[in-house]
Amino acid sequence: MDADLFWLSDRQFARIAPHLPTDTRGKPRVDDRRVISGIIQIMLSGARWKDAPSAYGPRKTLYNRFQRWAAKGVWARLFEALAQSDGLPAELLIDSSAVKAHRCASGGKRGSDTRPSADRVAGARPRSTR
């Protein structure tokens, strides 16, 4: 095995194995550990599917497994199960990109115009006549 490639450890795979689908029909599935390691390698590196290292098996298998499991919700259920398995996290992180603000929250087109305070406006002469 190449040292630069990602491989799930025995412990990691043992933790996710119970959550993987078992309802396969037809040909037996290619080794889950190898394929999932390949999918994680692609996600970590940001590479294209066709650039996946051959150590993980056929690139088309990696792509098909990722797409099919995404459509079936396997990845979402797996992540949810793993997130809930250890109880509350010791740390929580928030990224600023997750906090949305309306475009006028920074002042919009008006920029940095300041408005007079209510005290000054109350004591000023009326602008219109009655």
Summarize pLDDT for 79-120 with one digit per residue, the tens: 888 887 766 666 777 666 656 677 667 655 555 566 666 666
Residues 3-54 have pLDDT tens digits of: 688 999 998 899 899 989 888 788 888 889 999 999 999 999 999 999 999 9
Domain ranges of the chain: 10-85
Nearest 5°: the CA angle 38, 39, 40 is 90
Query: Could you tell me which residues come within 8 angstroms of residue 66 by beta carbon, excluding any fewer than 6 positions away?
Result: 39, 42
Residue with tokens 């406006």: 121
pTM value > 0.75: no
Would you call 99 helix, strand, or coil by DSSP?
coil
What type of residue sits at position 94? I
